[in-house]
Amino acid sequence: MAIDLDLYFKRIGYQGSRELNSQTLINIHRQQSLTIPLDMLDHHLGVPLSLEPEFIFNKILRHKRGGGCSQLNEILALALIALGFKVERLMARVFYDLEEDQAPILSHKMLRVTFNDETWICDCGFYCGLIEPIPFVLDTQFDHCNRSFILTEHKEHGIMFKAKIEDKWIEMYTFNLISYIPEDYKAVFSYNCINPERPFYDHAIVTMNTIDGKKVLYDRTFDKKSGKKTTVINIRTCEQYHEILREEFNIEIPEHPNFFPDPMLMLKR
């Protein structure tokens, strides 16, 4: 299904070029990363989980929501394909924040984009991840928006994507170059949303990049990092919660005006 590019560009506030070049790719990726959050609320709102294109269009573009990594990177993929970029959908094994007794499993969607003999890695759906895409080149540090990233060879799982956090290289995820179709991500999406072992099952989580930091809404706590400054707000009311969704994350849930996540109740499920 084709995406409405005008509607997509309006949602991300993009008014730039549509030419097939690296600057167009960088600008579109940056705009989506900074305007559409990782929004894992559907499970808690009772909204059916879906990766159908029309559902994603309605949710993210028309109803002003965010989405999971499979939804965010799919809408980016469809926009880039409509512009003429070649897009391959990849699957990643997440290492970030992994417990010692846990094995890294295929649980994250990301993209490889090719045009004019250039290849780039794109990902608008990972915590502590990219704001701008990076060239698909190994062992070279790439810096943007006060962040540093590198791709290195991994002896077991292909390629490792690392991010520098507080001057230390942290393993984010590995991937190989096997290409997947959109339907392949249904099990991954369900696993991330409704598996009791995943944090999104028990907690209402919304995150979004900023040029110099990160914003995280974790149940009733809002954490905003800007450079070396951190602001933490303990949310007291439902009205305050919805105001933060609108003002800080650019999303709205008018169909659920009384939604106010109670972590104690969610943990009892």
Delimit the domains of the chain by residue range: 5-267
Handedness of CA 217, 49, 77, 128 (dihedral sign): positive
Residue predicted with more confidence, 8 or 187: 8
Looking at residue 227, its pLDDT comes to 87
* pTM across the whole model: 0.95
pLDDT for res 269:
54
What fold is seen in the domain 5-267?
Arylamine N-acetyltransferase fold (3.30.2140)
In this model, does residue 97 exceed pLDDT 90?
A: no
Tens of pLDDT, residues 43-84: 999 999 999 999 999 999 999 999 999 999 999 999 999 999
- Using pLDDT thresholds of 50, 70 and 90, give the confidence band for residue 98: confident
The Cβ of residue 83 has, within 10 Å, a number of other Cβ atoms equal to 18
Q: What's the rounded Cα separation, in Å, for the pair 21 and 26?
A: 9
pLDDT for 264 equals: 67
pLDDT at 266: 58
Q: Looking at residue 265, what is its pLDDT?
A: 61
- Cα(180)–Cα(174) distance, integer angstroms: 15
How far is 95 from 104, CA to CA, in rounded Å? 6
**Res. 267 pLDDT band, cuts 50 70 90:** low
Q: Are 207 and 131 in contact (CB under 8 A)?
A: no
Structure tokens of 222? 């809002």
129/221: higher pLDDT: 221
CB 203 within 8 A of CB 189: no
Provide the sign of the torsion angle of the four alpha carbons 107, 156, 120, 112, taken in this order.
negative
Is the pLDDT assigned to residue 237 strictly greater than 60? yes
Q: Which of 242, 251, 254 is nearest to 64 (CA)?
A: 251
**Is the pLDDT at 88 greater than 60, yes or no?**
yes
Dihedral sign (CA 252, 94, 73, 48): negative
What does the alpha-carbon distance between residue 43 and residue 39 come to, in Å, rounded to a whole number?
Answer: 10
Q: What are the b/e assignments for 40-65, b being 16+ CB within 10 Å?
A: bbbbbeeeebebebeebbebbbeebb
pLDDT confidence bin for 127, thresholds 50/70/90: confident
Q: Is the pLDDT of residue 197 over 90?
A: no
Q: What is the mean pLDDT of residues 22-44?
A: 97
Per-residue model confidence (pLDDT) at position 177? 96
The CA distance from 13 to 15, in Å, is 7
**Residues 238-259 pLDDT 10s:** 999 999 999 999 999 999 999 9
Mean pLDDT value of segment 190-216: 91
Contact between 116 and 19 under an 8 Å Cβ cutoff? The reply is no
Per-residue pLDDT, 109: 97
Please report the pLDDT score of residue 199 as a whole number: 85
The average pLDDT across 75-104 equals 93
Long-range contacts of 199-203 (CB under 8 A, 24+ apart): 200/40, 200/43, 201/43, 202/263, 202/266, 202/267, 202/269, 203/261, 203/263, 203/266
Alpha carbon distance 69, 192 (integer Å)? 10
